[in-house]
Structure formats: structure tokens, C-alpha cells
Structure 1
């Protein structure tokens, strides 16, 4: 594992900003930031422990995938994954990510989305299939990771750590030429195969429980679970990233989706 905790620039840290401060400093400018003090009153921070998942989700299943061999997938219950996570010594462990079981429960009452992360699509949330509700749970053992990627349709995102510890690396769009379209593993790069990656200079973040990371539109990023645990992430569209998202949808010929976003944004702006 490449050591990103020394010798690299860190993203900013800010404590419980109001909507105007966040948007002026980070949201509108598209700058990643670590936010503290926001989750202090979330029920999830004390409620969502391993016992909670093991006892409540004994029959709810998910698909866990190995990081290095993504063809190796394993169906298991959420409870069983926690047993696996707490005992595994796999060199390439399974990762239970992109799960949405929480959306079909009352778990959404256990956290509060900050106002600056409001999603304009929320006005039609009840009509959207789960896949388009842009909310996911990530449950991963130590040494699991999400590789280099851009978020769906260049939306922005927030990620809240309930337990565990994550290391983030961020690359702005001007460094995309060094990233091999995300194929290179930034945590153990093969510089013989991907020599240009040596020129990439990331911004780094170390995220602990009770902290939220903001990922702006258009930033390549990857996330490593230095300590296994639970996090929740949601993507969103609002006035800080609408233009980028719409342009991306049109570029990919997602005309119907662009119309829906247009309609939702008009409603969102009328209620601001």
C-alpha cells in the first residue's frame, strides 16, 4: 500500500459550516473538503454497530465483490458479512458496497442530510426506482477499497463514516491524463505498466468516524478502508453542480434524464 499520509497535500477541514459558508468556499468552487461536527446528533453514529446489523439483517442479502478479482462475487446476508468482516485475513477481501437495503427500512431516519447537500431529485424520490435514488451503504473490511472513478453523471457526493477509517485520494480533471481512465490502482500502482501515473499529485484525506467527505463534480477519486467499517454515501444535484450534470447527461445522450433533472431543478430553485 502506497503511503499517502505523509508527503502529500491534504484537503481542507471545516467544522459544521452553514449553507452559505459551505457553498461559497467549497460547493460552488468544486473543492473537496472534510467536514466535522455535522454527525454529532445522528442516531446512526451509536445505533449502527455490528450487533445492530447482525441481529436486524439476518435474511437481507447483498453481493460482496473482491477488489482485485471483480469477477469473484459472493452473495451473503448483511449479518453474515459482518461476521466475515470481523474475522477475515483475506489478502483480497470481499467488499459489500453499493448496497441500498437501508432505503427500504427506517434507517433513513437515523441521519440528517445537511441543507447544502439537498438533492433536487428528492421531490420525485417516491417515484424513482432504488437505483436512481443515489444513496448507498458501504460495508467493508480492512484493506477493501473503491478504485479510481468519477461519480455517476458528474454528480457531487457526500460520504459519512459511521465506523472504520478511510484514506481518500483526489485528482482534479487536469490530471486525468495521468490516470489511465481509472484502470491504475492508486494504492498499489504498477508504474511499469502505467508510468504516467507517477506524475499524478493527489489531494489526500484521512476520514474517521463522525466525519463527512465532500466530493465535488468532476474529481477523480479512490477510497481505501485502512480500518474496516460502515459508511453511507449519497450523490446529489443542485444549483452548485447542475450545469455540469446536465452537460454530462446530454453528452451521453441521456435526453429523458436531462428533462427530468431540468424539471426538478426548476422546482428546487423556486423553493429556495
Structure 2
């Protein structure tokens, strides 16, 4: 029973007691429930019919009072819940409700929460898989917070990276591979319709000395993607470095995972769309990712920061959370949320993802949706397993051709970067 419902019942109890008291007082003072006063008897003889009517009224009042009193006792017993033992799930719901009450603005469509000293239990209860949050006090401990443009030019300037360039609208984006120092020599030259954006999934993965500068906070320590074979495990440290005006597309992340974004330099603007608005976003239908372990893509052709409302008129009805992300802030984006980032200054960041106990069922559903062969192989006990058992079982059932294709794709990606063809 929630505190609110209990409060409502207590109010009802008070009203019942008041009515009981009023009724009893009314009888004692010669008043009837309708407010009329009993006529004072004089020494004259009262007629038999009048005496009978009086007896009937008194009997009715007595019956009502007794019935009401018995009902009051029963109702009091229902309210007496001190000795009732609730199960763990019930107590968790009570605890979650209490947490949500502390953050009533969580239901507002225009707010992002900036949190420091956020406990893991509260993160899971309030945010994980539910609502986006900016963590403001974890990145200061990361060695990566000391990364600079000069450092990358001096140490990795000759290394090749992948980037996209835009002349015109976002739809005109083209991908290139070039030396990092060449990209960085022009990273300050962004214009509203001409900009570049480094989006490289492999650069940090291939350089462990850099990746170790990124420290996983407690909220991201559980990651079931680590149970995937390396051939099909998603790379989980994408280097992002954009000129002013550069931006991502409007999309949901692959496998519908929980996404993260850590800003080290610059200013990133975001538009996040709570689930249930696909009809306003003109999502491309039936697109596949092209990953060895395939999944569907959920991308929108709309540029939320420069929407073409003539072509996409329904987009005007989409509701977004809009906010700025500053250096030193870590953003965690729940599964199911469309999002688009816009760099309002030269901005360096790293994105990642997790599959955890809060979203693993959705990730598995996305995998099975695009890989029917796996769905047919699942044992009957699959849905009774723990999260780790489910993931491990799914990976053991992985067809050899998917693993072989994973090795090929990884090798091709590295080869394309070295040749400068990507």
C-alpha cells in the first residue's frame, strides 16, 4: 500500500469518526440526522401514533449507529498493517517510488538531470534504461581528461583516421581516411554548411595505451558485450572530434544498447526523443546494419538541428529534451531513445555502450529479430535463464559463418584505413 493511498484511507477514517460522533451527539441532543429537532414532550398525553413513529425513528438510528460502528472496526483492521510482511519486489517498488518522488522533474519533457555523487542503486532505480542523465563528477579522474590537440599531433599525427565531410546538408556526407594531423590542422574551420567530423571506432581500440586512459565508472562496469566473441563484439570506444557545426544523424544506437558520451573539449548540444515518437521521425524502414551479427538500424532522415518541415511536416510534433553537454560531463542515453548531437564548438569526445541487466532483453530481442537462425536454436529453458546464462547460451549457438564474417570485416576495416580508401 503506498503512502498516498494510506493517507487517503486515513482521511476517510477521520471523516467516519466525525460522522459517528455527530450522529451520537445528535441522538443525545434530540436531533435527527436530517437536522430536525425532536419536539419537546410536555405533560400532555402523546397520541399512540406519535409514540410509535418516535420509536421507529429511534430504532432506525440505533441500527445505523451499530452498523456503522461495526464497519468502522473492520475498516480499522484493514488499516492496521504494521505486522504485514511485504516481499522484496514490493519493497523495491516502494523504494523506487520514493526515489522518483525526490526527482519529480523526471517526468518533464524538457529537463536533463546533472548528477554528482549518484549511487549505483539510485542510478539503476531512476535512470538505467529509463531516463538520460549527465554525470558531472567521474571524468575528472580519467587520464584522458589531459588529452590535447598538441599531444595527438605529436604522438599520433601520422596515424590515419576515418572522418566524414559535409558540403551542404547532412545527407551529402562523405567518408574519408587521412592522417590525423591533416584533419586537426583544419578542425577549427567549420562553417554552417561545410564541416568535418572524425568518427573513428578503431583508433582507440587499436591503441591500448590510449584506451586505458578511459576509466569505466561504476554505472558502466556491468557489460555483457564482454561475453561476446571478439569477432562480433562491438568496438566500445569511438573517438569523436568535430568542427563547429558538425553533427551526428538522428538515430537509435545499434542493438538498441545503452549509449554513453564523454566530452573532453568543446560544447555538444543534444536533442533526445523519448520512445513512442517514431511516426514523427520518418524512420527508414527495414534497414539492416551490415554488421556480421546483424541487427536492424533505426535512423531518421531528419536533421533535428535544421529540419526540413516541408519534406517532413510531422516532425514538428516530435517532443525532445534539449540540453548542452560541457567538458567533464558523461552522458548516459537509455535504450530506445532517438538522439542527435551537434558540436557548437570544436569538440572532442568518446562514445561507448553497454549491455547490462537493465537492457539485455532488448539487445537480445534486436539480435534475434535480425537472425532467425539463432531464434530457432534456442533451448526451451532459455527464457528461464539468468542474464549471463542467456548471453553465454546465445554466443555458444552462434553460427560459424557469422564468426568468420566478423574476422573478415575487422580485417577489411583496418586495411581500408591503412590504404586511405575508407
Which range, TM-score by smaller chain? Answer: 0.7 to 0.9
Kept in 1, the 8 Å contact 2:255–2:366? The answer is yes
Counterpart of 1:241 (choices 359, 363, 371) is: 359
Residues 66 and 254 of structure 1: CA distance in aligned 2, closer, same or farther (over 3 Å): farther
Q: Please state how far the C-alpha of 1:22 moved relative to its aligned partner.
A: 1.0
Unaligned runs of 5+ in 2: 1-108, 284-299, 379-384, 393-422
Structure 1 stretches (4+) deviating beyond 6 angstroms?
none
Q: Secondary structure at the match of 1:102?
A: coil
* TM-score, normalised via structure 2 length: 0.56
Q: Contact 2:161/2:180 (CA < 8 Å) preserved in 1?
A: yes
Deviation (angstroms), 1:175: 1.2
Higher strand share: 1
Runs of 5+ unmatched residues, structure 1: 1-7
Which aligned pairs between 1:1-272 and structure 2 lie closer than 5 A?
9-28=110-129, 30-46=130-146, 48-67=147-166, 68-70=170-172, 72-89=174-191, 91-105=193-207, 106-118=209-221, 119-123=223-227, 127-129=229-231, 132-181=234-283, 182-253=300-371, 265-266=388-389
Deviation at 1:159, TM superposition (A): 0.6
Residues 190, 171 of structure 1: alpha-carbon distance in 2 compared, 3 angstrom cutoff: same
Residue aligned with 2:211, SS = helix
Give the Cα–Cα distance (whole angstroms) in 2 for the partners of residues 254 and 32 of structure 1.
32
Q: CA RMSD in A?
A: 2.5
With over 3 angstroms needed to count, the CA separation of the structure-2 counterparts of 1:90 and 1:226, relative to structure 1, is closer
Q: Which residue of 2 aligns with 1:3?
A: none
1:26-56 Cα offsets, whole Å, 9 max, x none, are: 004x21111111111111111x110011111
Offset at residue 16 of structure 1 (A)? 3.5
Q: Distance in 2 between matches of 1:53 and 1:195?
A: 43
Contact 2:202 2:235 in 1 (8 A): no
Instruction: Give the C-alpha shift of residue 265 in structure 1.
Output: 2.3
Query: Offset of 1:130 from its aligned partner?
Result: 8.2
Q: Deviations over 1:99-154 (max 9, x none)?
A: 32111221111121112213112255xx5148722321111111100010000110
What count of residue pairs does the alignment treat as equivalent?
256
**Normalised TM-score (structure 1):** 0.86
